[in-house]
Copies of this chain bind each other. A is one copy, B any other.
């Protein structure tokens, strides 16, 4: 597994997060990341997918009515993960077709967070802390793409 591309697509539902973590952890382990790094990559991807499910795919309407899914739309809310491996790094692209969000708009500050009363915004902090590169783009055809990269040697 020195070079290669893996594609995984699941419905945008939290019940699939455990499967997504398993897949990502398995790939990261097999390409040779130490256990510690595997756990971090796993968590970053879990947080990114959680955000897609809980924020990008949640309509204003749903947000007002207690975060309920519209089940009939489920099929249009896939979580798509593309994992690319080469000699120097693992690149994980997460694509969704929802509202989208550029995490570079958020500058997570743990000290401020800990001092504040509000919870939330920890997900992007985790993603940025654990991955070497995090880039967001929106393309009308592809949707929202969050690209996360981790190098083998840091």
Contact = CB atoms under 8 A, between A and B. Distances in A.
Given A1-B16, A6-B16, A22 B26 contact: yes
Interface string A3-44: 011111111010110110011001100100000000000000
Interface string A96-127: 00000000000000000000000000000000
Interface string A36-56: 000000000000000000000
Contact of A1 (B1, B15, B22, B27): B15
B10 A19 contact: no
Nearest to A8: B8
A125 B1 CA distance: 29
Interface string A115-141: 000000000000000000000000000
Interface of A: 1, 4-11, 13, 15-16, 18-19, 22-23, 26-27, 30, 75
